[in-house]
Amino acid sequence: MPLAQALVGVPFVVRTMLPVLRAVDERLREAAAVLGASPLRAWREVDLPLVRRAVLVAAGFAFAVSLGEFGATVFIARPDNPTLPVAVARLLGRSGELNYGQAMALSTILMLVCAVSLLLLERIRTDRSGEF
């Protein structure tokens, strides 16, 4: 199941990270190399501080998307260990007010977790000037 969730989240990660990684000035890496930094240290000291917020935003988007993903997990989820969207669908498929109430409660929890994660992403994404 984590593989299916990762496949669902990869486009959001790529879409978020690619422009930021392309915007990193190559001269900064070259300067670090001239000063004796290994490629790993140059990445850690130059690239990572510049792309840290984008990594957090990409991870948050992937989390929010995979949390609510139903299509990929409905085929993979085990009956004894369903995800929230699969549990909601199963409860809605059963008759009775108790099942309906439980489905609505799980939907509310799912909505709140997604909303909180997206609000945190928005807080991370913007700085004081409102730019990315």
Among 75, 55, 53, 68, smallest CA distance to 123 is for 53
Predicted pLDDT at 129 = 46
Please report the pLDDT score of residue 36 as a whole number.
92
The helix/strand/coil state of 88 is helix
Cβ neighbours around 52 below 10 Å, total = 12
Phi then psi dihedrals of residue 69, to 5 deg: -70, 125
Task: Provide the CA 16 distance to its chain's centre, in angstroms.
Answer: 10
Taking residues 78-106, report their average pLDDT: 84
30-34, 55-59, 78-82, range with greatest mean pLDDT: 30-34
In this prediction, residue 74 carries a pLDDT of 61
In this predicted structure, what is the pLDDT of residue 70?
62
Residue where the block lists tokens 């909180």: 116
Distance, CA of 119 to chain centre: 13
- Judge if pTM exceeds 0.85: no
